[in-house]
Amino acid sequence: MAAQVQLQPSARCFQLDGNDSVLEAALHAGLSLNYGCSNGKCGLCRARLIAGEVSKIRPHDFVFTEAEKNLGHFLLCSYTAVGDIVVEAAEDAMIPKQQISTRLKKLSPLADEILLLQLQTPRSQRLRFLAGQSVRLRLDSGFAARYPIASCPCDDRNIQFHVRLTQDDEFAQQLATLETNDVVQLTGPIGRFILDDSSQSPLLFLAFETGFAPIKSLIEHAMQLEIGNSIHLQWCAVNTSRHYMRNLVRSWADAFDNFSSTLLAPDGLETDQRSIGGSPELACASIAGACVEHAVEQHTDLSDYDIHVAGPAPFPKLTLDRLRRLGVDKRQLKSLNTP
């Protein structure tokens, strides 16, 4: 049977199923708690049991004093709940920057010139991050670039990215030559392209091509925490083949009543087709404009929405400019340029 865990002082609650540790259940629920090694050595995930009972599921090397034991201190990574519990554990507002030597686990095509990159951290040094944040990746060759994380914080060991492979991007070209288990240095997390988890406003996500990567992380996080009374995605691309995770988007629509999506490409938008065939900037401007117009048609009053915009430049800037001209308050808007 599932147990309910309540955190103090935040009063946030989450479910713990099976024999998961309290830490694992919190991460799966999208909560950001303080932790380090996840295997009972560092003691960073120490907490205090206020009510209920916990049971040890794995040994740990960290040693508590007798006074700490008497006060109910335990390690979130090494104990599970026996029935409902109340735990004193602070949620992190700011996550410290980490440096991790990861290894390439997977590199596969998602669409023409778009790759799925999956890096794996050591078991003893997992990446703590918030949905929507980015990291800096560096190869042994010296090439480095910043990428938004496409995966959910609930899996802090397998970190995914969506990489746009273009001729003028030397980092991406070098990345495409890597082999399984090659080392990639990771530094992060970086950025404030995150959700306001105290808000219950409806959420509107506007993504262009690989801008879907951080949007994916945000949507998965919002669904876990039940943030926002409704979630709307508009994913724009220069052609329908660039909607490289359309099946995932459809599965969200099937699984969640409060989620809706529209996948937009020029053949379904009132765009200037001359721009689509011209410079990338003109194409982006045309698609950004059509995307915003479509958002307004679907959601006639945007005054209550939290709006997140992501994609390769100049899509975020052009989209935000159009939204501001329509009277959307800048405090409702967050944007991110992706590679």
Quick: pLDDT tens for 309-334.
999 988 999 899 989 998 999 999 99
Question: Does residue 210 sit in the same domain as residue 332?
Answer: yes
CA 102 – CA 129 distance, rounded (Å): 15
H helix and E strand count, the chain: 8, 16
In a domain, 321, yes or no: yes
Same domain? For 70 and 155 the reply is no
Residue 227 has pLDDT above 80, yes or no: no
Structural domain including 306 reads: 203-337
How does DSSP classify residue 242? G
pLDDT in tens, 92-110: 656 788 999 999 999 999 9
Question: What percentage of residues in the chain have a pLDDT greater than 90?
Answer: 60
Number of domains in the chain: 3
Give the pair of three-digit tokens for residue 327: 């009277």
Q: Domain of 37: which CATH number?
A: 3.10.20.30
Domain end residue (candidates: 88, 120, 141): 88
Q: Is residue 196 part of a domain?
A: no
User: What is the C-alpha radius of gyration for the chain, rounded to an integer number of angstroms?
Assistant: 22
| Domain endpoint, select from 143, 165, 190 | 190
Domain finish residue from 60, 88, 116: 88
Q: How far apart are CA 197 and CA 209, in angstroms?
A: 26
The letter for the amino acid at 107 is L
pLDDT recorded at residue 279: 52
160 shares a domain with 64: no
User: What pTM does this model have?
Assistant: 0.80
Residues 141 and 208 in one domain: no
Is 197 part of any domain?
no
Cα 104 from Cα 185, distance rounded (Å):
10
Are residue 322 and residue 238 in the same domain, yes or no? yes
CATH number at residue 275: 3.40.50.80
Looking at the fold, whether 186 and 241 belong to one and the same domain comes out as no
